[in-house]
Each structure stands twice: as C-alpha cells, then as structure tokens.
Amino acid sequence: MIVLGIESSCDETAAAIVNDKKEILGECVLTQIEHKTYGGVVPEIAARSHLEHIEDILEETFKKANIAPSEIDAIAAAAGPGLIGGVVVGVMAAKSLALALNKPFIAINHLEGHALAARLTSNVQYPYLLLLVSGGHCQILIVKDVGDFERLGTTIDDAAGEAFDKVAKMLGLGYPGGPMIEKMSEIGNENRFVLPRPLQHSGDCNLSFSGLKTAVRKIIESYSPDNNIEHAILNKQDIADICASFQKAATDCLVHKIQKAIAIFRHKYPNANDIVVSGGVAANTYLRNRLKQIAETEGLKFSAPPIRFCTDNGVMIAWAGVERALKGISDPLDFKPRPRWPLDTDAPKAAGAGGVKA
C-alpha cells in the first residue's frame, strides 16, 4: 500500500509518499517565510503561496520517491481543520490526481495526522494517551483507533503554540515564536519571574493559557516607562529569563493535566502502555523531557515523532492515509473541506462506495 499525502492547512506546503512498511519513499516541505514580517500567518498570502507551489512540491516528491504516479494506491490530503484557502488548494490537487489516476481520495483530519504520526516512527499501540499541542490546538485525547478519539481535556482559550507565538511577539522575537522561546530559554533563569499556572485546581483535564500570557505582558509592561510593551527596556538576559519562566510555567500546566489524564487512562485501560506527544509544540525539547520523566515515573512508554515530523508535514498526512486505506476507508470526490473539524466527532466511514481495496 503506497499513499501520497498532501498538507496545506497552514503555512507549510508539503507532500510525502509513504508505504505500509513504514517507509518514507519521498517527502518535500516548503515553509512559507512570507508571514515572518506580519508576526503571524496571513490566510490570503498563505493560500496564494500554496497555489503557487503545490505542483512543484508534488513533482519534487515523486522525483525523490522515484516512482510514477500510477504506482500510488491512494491520495490523501489534509481536508481540515485549518485555513480554508490553503486546505482547498491541497484537497483540489488530491482530488484531481485521484480522478486522473482513478485512485481513491482520502480526506484526512489534520489533527489525526499529528495524532498518528508517532505510530509511523515508533511502535505505539492503540489505545494510547495523546497530548496534542500545536499552533491552533491543545487537547488531551485517548486514541483508540483510526478515527476513534475520546477527548479528556482541551484548552478553554489559547492553544499552547499560540501562547508561545504571542509571548514571542511581545518580546520582539518574531514568528514562529516556539523555537525562539526555546532557544532563548537555554540561557535563561526559569525561576526569575513568578507566573501563574491557570486551572491547576479545576479538577479536570482542561487547560488555559490566556492568563499566563497576560501575566507575561504585565511583566514586560513593568519594564516600560509608560506601561507600553513596545517601549519596554529589556536586555538579552531579561528576555531569556522571561522566556525560560514562561516555558516552565506552560510546561508545568501541560504536565499537571497529563498526570490527571494518566490516572483516567489507567483506570479505563489498565493494560495500555503508551503515551505520546505530538503537534508543533512537541518539537520543544524541554517539554519532551518533562513528559518523558512523567511517563517513566508512571511506568508508561513515552513516544514523540522526530522533531521534523512534529511541525506540519506531508509524511503524517500520508501515514494517516495509509492507516485509513488499510481499513478500506476513503472519501467521495465531493467531500467538502472542513475549516472546523473536531477529532472526537469523526466517525470513520466503512469501505463502501469509495472504499479502498488494500
């Protein structure tokens, strides 16, 4: 089973060809740098850039894999959630190829791509506990099977990556903020600034980053003569210390709620072993190490995709396509992309009208 996967839901135009032996035959990722000057992704610029580059990315991916389009068994594309202009570009490319090659089309929930990525790169068994932390999402889920998710908790305001990006923006560190905050934190004192850990005592697995972000803003304002963060006078060490204190606080919040979730997961699935972190923020080594420690203490096996497969990529979409195709799941060519697409409402369709013959 060989599947082509296309990702275009945010600011990466990406494609990959992956088979059911877990081999990545070819992959290509183009990260749009146009957004850097705006401090965030501009949807219309993103959509235009996907449109401009999608054909070259696909050609390059086939070239790297050294296979002909006719050798592909199915074509998968991230069909939501995400910026709809970009999603439509990837989905249209996938549908066109599916039609021209007479192969099945598979609509992938972008979050399922992140959720299943660790099964490609590590030996992760269903059911597993998943912390999904990206720029747009922050959820704790039990992944029971392809398309079968139980959400234990979610952010009630900002996503984790969004909080990293907003704090980085306040500190003038540019976009995306996560990698810069992590880098600055290496030379920072994580205990210098006292920051809140929102929802610590809520008793559930929900998260909140808005208050944490506001607390950082207040600290930055206190370094400004007129309470305007644009005029704050911060030296490199001050910035590093804010970054490290924020990174620790955000990680503490995630770790605390994961511990709660582990207790629920254990109760429901006493024989399950795996805990996974994925999504862009999972590229953060400090967070990975803290989660690894917790997993070891709890006697669970910790896995995370390699850092390059944490942020958006085509490999995770192709792999989710492989998992779906192996179950005979595909989608009709009139599938409508879904800008909003919660994971725990996605019931997989049995092989039928458009079913893949594996």
Contacts to ligand KG4 by CB under 6 A: 10, 134-136, 161, 164-165, 176-179, 182, 279-281, 283-284, 311-312
Of residues 82-101, which lie at the interface with Zn ion (CB under 5 A)?
none
Q: How far apart are CA 19 and CA 318, in angstroms?
A: 8
Q: CA nearest 207: which of 165, 166, 168, 151? A: 151
Distances 231 to 168, 203, 227, 234 between C-alpha atoms, Å? 15, 39, 8, 9
Q: How far apart are CA 71 and CA 73, in angstroms?
A: 6
**Per-residue binding letters, 280-319, with Zn ion (x by CB under 5 A):** --------------------------------x-------
What, of Zn ion, ligand KG4, none, does residue 165 touch, CB below 5 to 8 Å by kind?
ligand KG4
Least distance from ligand KG4 to the Cβ atom of residue 88, Å = 17
* Nearer to ligand KG4 (CB atom), residue 135 or residue 337: 135
* Nearer to ligand KG4 (CB atom), residue 103 or residue 114: 114
* Nearer to Zn ion (CB atom), residue 198 or residue 279: 279
Instruction: Copy the structure tokens of residue 167.
Output: 């704090």
Least distance from ligand KG4 to the Cβ atom of residue 29, Å = 10
Alpha helices in 66-206 (DSSP H): 84-101, 110-121, 160-170, 177-185
Instruction: Copy the structure tokens of residue 29.
Output: 């990722």
Chain-centroid distance of CA 306 in Å reads 13
Instruction: Copy the structure tokens of residue 84.
Output: 């709809």
What, of ligand KG4, Zn ion, none, does residue 113 touch, CB below 5 to 8 Å by kind?
none
Least distance from ligand KG4 to the Cβ atom of residue 117, Å = 10
Least distance from ligand KG4 to the Cβ atom of residue 164, Å = 4
In sequence order, the 6+-apart residues with CB closer than 8 A to the CB of 52 are none
Determine, following the binding rule CB under 5 A, whether residue 134 of this chain makes contact with Zn ion. Answer: yes
* Nearer to ligand KG4 (CB atom), residue 67 or residue 307: 307
* Nearer to Zn ion (CB atom), residue 11 or residue 238: 11
What, of ligand KG4, Zn ion, none, does residue 339 touch, CB below 5 to 8 Å by kind?
none
Determine, following the binding rule CB under 5 A, whether residue 8 of this chain makes contact with Zn ion. Answer: no
Least distance from ligand KG4 to the Cβ atom of residue 53, Å = 17
Least distance from Zn ion to the Cβ atom of residue 11, Å = 10
Strands 148-154 and 105-108: unpaired
Q: CA nearest 145: which of 358, 299, 343? A: 343
Least distance from ligand KG4 to the Cβ atom of residue 77, Å = 15
Q: Please count the CA atoms within 13 angstroms of the CA of 68 that sit on its side-chain side.
A: 3
* Nearer to Zn ion (CB atom), residue 134 or residue 154: 134
Q: CA nearest 275: which of 147, 154, 56, 115? A: 115
* Nearer to ligand KG4 (CB atom), residue 83 or residue 356: 83
Which region, judged by CB under 5 A, interacts with Zn ion, from 134-142, 197-205, 281-289, 290-298?
134-142
Q: Greatest CA separation found in the chain?
A: 68
Q: CA nearest 121: which of 333, 354, 304? A: 304
Least distance from ligand KG4 to the Cβ atom of residue 306, Å = 13
* Nearer to Zn ion (CB atom), residue 245 or residue 284: 284
Task: State the CB neighbour count (10 A cutoff) for residue 9.
Answer: 32
User: How many residues in the shown chain lie near Zn ion by CB under 5 A?
Assistant: 2
What, of ligand KG4, Zn ion, none, does residue 5 touch, CB below 5 to 8 Å by kind?
none
The interaxial angle of helices 177-185 and 285-298, nearest 10 deg, is 80
Q: How far apart are CA 161 and CA 332, in angstroms?
A: 33
Q: How far apart are CA 160 and CA 206, in angstroms?
A: 12
* Nearer to ligand KG4 (CB atom), residue 78 or residue 106: 78
- Applying CB under 5 A, the residues found at the interface with Zn ion are 134, 312
